[in-house]
C-alpha cells in the first residue's frame, strides 16, 4: 500500500548527480566507506546499458535503484540479462511500498526492452521474495583470516597482470560469462579501494584490496598454474576472501590445497522475464560483474 503518491521516472544521465548522492549516502559514506559510486561504477553509469528508476515526492528524490543490461554468453546462446542493484529508500520514507513500486516499474521496462531475465544480490532476501524473485546462488565464499601482518610473507613486488591479458583469458577460459568491455575491469565493488589483477599461466584472479585484505571477485583456475597463483594471493594479502562457483575447478582446487574455510552464499535472486525459461539455477555471475 503506497502512502503518498510517488512519481516514478526512468532517468536520463543529466539527472544522475542527485541519484549518485543518494546512493553514496546510503551505501558508501554512512557505512564508513570511501570512493563515490560515480567512480566505482563509472563503467555502468556512463554506459547506455544502464538506467535508473527514481521515485520522487513532489521534487524530492526519496527512492532509487539502478539497472544494468548485460549479455550473458552460455556456450552458443546469448541471453539478455538485467542486473538490479543499489535499491534504496531514504530512511524516513521506508515501509510505504516505494522500493516495491520502483522494482515493478524497472521490471516492466526490462520486459519492454526484451530482456530474458533479471538478477540481483541481496543480503535480505525477504524483501524480494514477496515480489516474485527466486533465490538460487551457486556462490561459495572461502575465508582465510590472519590476525596480524606476517612479515615473513613479504616478497619483492611482483609483476601484476594487465587488463588485456586478463580479458583474453576471461574470453577464452570462462563460460558461461558476462560479455565484458575493457572499462568493466575498472569496476570497483564495495568496499575495496583498488583493484589487483594476478595471473599465473592460464589461471587468473581479479581482487579488490582494502589495506592488507584481499577480496577475490573472480578466480579462473587451471590446476597446474594454481600453486603459483595461490602463492601470489597469499604474499599480497593477509586476510583473504575468495568468491568462486560451487564445485568449479577453482573451488575444487582451493578446497583440496588451501586452508580456506568455506561458506555457501545466499545472495543471488533471479526473475525470468520471458516464457522461455532461463536456466538460472546453474548460472553463477562473478562479483566482478555485479552492481
Ligand atoms: C531495503 C529498502 C530499499 C526497502 O525500501 P522500502 O521502500 O522501505 O521497501 P517497501 O516499503 O517497498 O517494501 C517492499 C517489501 O519488502 C518488505 N521489506 C521492506 N524492508 C524489509 C526488511 N528490512 N525486512 C524484510 N522485509 C522488508 C516490505 O514488507 C514489502 O513487502 P510486502 O509488499 O510484502 O509488504 C530500504 O529499507 C533501504 O533503503 N535499505 C537500505 C539499503 C539496502 O539495504 N538496500 C538493499 C540492497 S539489496
The pLDDT value recorded for residue 277 is 84
Q: How confident is the model at residue 152 (pLDDT cuts 50, 70, 90)?
A: low
Best residue among 22, 28, 127, 267 to mutate for probing ligand 1's pocket (most ligand atoms within 8 Å of CB) is 127
- Please tell me the residue having the least CA distance from ligand 1 atom 38: 88
C-alpha cell at 239: 586476510
The pTM assigned to this predicted structure is 0.94
CATH number of 139-264: 3.40.630.30
- Please tell me the residue having the least CA distance from ligand 1 atom 44: 88
Measured torsion, CA atoms of residues 241, 246, 248, 250, in degrees rounded to the nearest 10: 20
Closest CA to 220 of 183, 182, 165, 260: 165
* Mean pLDDT value of segment 170-189: 95
Best residue among 6, 22, 95 to mutate for probing ligand 1's pocket (most ligand atoms within 8 Å of CB) is 95
CA–CA dist 243, 286 (Å, integer): 8
Tens of pLDDT, residue by residue over 278-289, are 999 999 999 999
Best residue among 66, 94, 107 to mutate for probing ligand 1's pocket (most ligand atoms within 8 Å of CB) is 94
The pLDDT value recorded for residue 148 is 56
The pLDDT value recorded for residue 167 is 97
Does 7-137+266-289 match 139-264 in CATH topology? Answer: yes
Cα torsion 108, 109, 113, 115: sign: negative
Burial profile 86-104: b = 16 or more Cβ within 10 angstroms, e = fewer: bbbbbeebeebebbbbbbe
The pLDDT value recorded for residue 3 is 62
CA–centroid distance, 218 to ligand 1, in Å, is: 29
The pLDDT value recorded for residue 13 is 66
The pLDDT value recorded for residue 146 is 77
How far out from the chain centre does Cα 5 lie? 32
Q: Which atom of ligand 1 is nearest to the CA of 89?
A: 39
Residue indicated by cell numbers 526519496 = 62
Q: Which atom of ligand 1 is nearest to the CA of 122?
A: 48
The CATH number of 7-137+266-289, from 3.30.750.24, 2.20.25.90, 3.10.580.10, 3.40.630.30, is: 3.40.630.30
- Please tell me the residue having the least CA distance from ligand 1 atom 3: 88
Tens of pLDDT, residue by residue over 158-172, are 668 999 999 999 999
CA–centroid distance, 151 to ligand 1, in Å, is: 45
- Please tell me the residue having the least CA distance from ligand 1 atom 42: 88
Q: Which atom of ligand 1 is nearest to the CA of 96?
A: 11
Tens of pLDDT, residue by residue over 39-93, are 999 999 988 899 999 999 998 999 999 999 999 999 989 999 999 999 999 999 9
Q: Which residues pair with 67 in a beta bridge?
A: 51, 84
What is the rounded average pLDDT for all residues in the chain?
93
Residue indicated by cell numbers 520471458 = 274
Domain ranges for the chain, please list them. Answer: 7-137+266-289, 139-264
Q: Percentage of the chain surpassing pLDDT 90?
A: 87
Q: How confident is the model at residue 156 (pLDDT cuts 50, 70, 90)?
A: very low
Residue 195 is given by DSSP the state: E
- Please tell me the residue having the least CA distance from ligand 1 atom 4: 99
Higher pLDDT, 151 or 38: 38
- Please tell me the residue having the least CA distance from ligand 1 atom 14: 100
- Please tell me the residue having the least CA distance from ligand 1 atom 30: 127
Residues with CB under 6 A from ligand 1: 26, 63, 87-89, 94-100, 122, 124, 126-127, 130
Tens of pLDDT, residue by residue over 224-253, are 999 999 999 999 999 999 999 999 999 999
Amino acid at each position: 500500500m503506497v502512502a503518498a503518491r510517488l512519481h516514478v521516472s526512468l532517468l536520463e544521465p543529466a539527472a544522475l548527480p542527485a541519484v549518485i548522492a543518494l546512493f553514496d549516502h546510503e551505501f558508501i559514506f554512512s557505512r564508513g566507506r570511501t570512493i563515490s559510486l560515480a567512480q566505482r561504477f563509472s563503467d555502468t553509469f556512463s554506459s547506455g546499458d544502464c538506467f535508473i528508476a527514481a521515485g520522487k515526492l513532489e521534487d524530492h528524490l526519496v527512492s532509487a535503484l539502478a539497472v544494468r543490461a548485460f549479455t550473458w554468453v552460455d556456450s552458443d546462446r546469448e541471453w539478455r540479462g538485467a542486473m538490479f542493484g543499489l535499491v534504496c529508500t531514504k530512511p524516513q520514507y521506508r515501509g510505504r511500498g516505494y522500493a516495491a513500486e520502483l522494482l515493478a516499474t524497472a521490471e516492466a521496462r526490462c520486459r519492454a526492452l526484451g530482456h530474458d531475465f533479471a538478477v540481483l544480490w541481496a543480503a535480505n532476501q525477504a524483501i524480494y521474495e514477496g515480489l516474485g524473485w527466486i533465490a538460487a546462488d551457486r556462490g561459495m565464499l572461502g575465508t582465510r583470516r590472519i590476525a596480524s601482518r606476517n612479515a615473513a610473507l613479504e616478497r619483492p613486488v611482483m609483476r601484476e597482470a594487465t587488463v588485456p591479458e586478463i580479458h583474453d583469458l576471461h574470453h577464452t577460459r570462462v563460460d558461461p560469462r558476462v560479455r565484458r568491455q575493457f572499462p568493466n575491469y575498472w569496476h570497483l565493488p564495495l568496499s575495496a579501494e583498488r583493484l589487483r589483477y594476478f595471473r599465473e599461466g592460464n589461471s587468473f584472479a581479479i581482487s579488490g584490496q582494502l589495506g592488507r585484505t584481499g577480496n577475490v571477485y573472480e578466480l579462473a583456475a587451471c590446476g597446474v598454474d594454481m600453486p603459483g597463483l595461490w602463492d601470489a594471493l597469499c604474499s599480497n594479502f593477509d586476510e583473504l576472501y575468495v568468491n568462486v562457483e560451487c564445485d568449479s575447478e577453482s573451488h575444487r582446487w582451493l578446497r583440496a590445497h588451501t586452508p580456506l574455510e568455506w561458506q555457501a552464499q545466499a545472495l543471488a535472486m533471479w526473475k525470468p522475464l520471458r516464457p522461455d525459461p532461463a536456466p538460472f539455477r546453474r548460472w553463477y555471475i562473478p562479483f566482478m560483474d555485479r552492481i
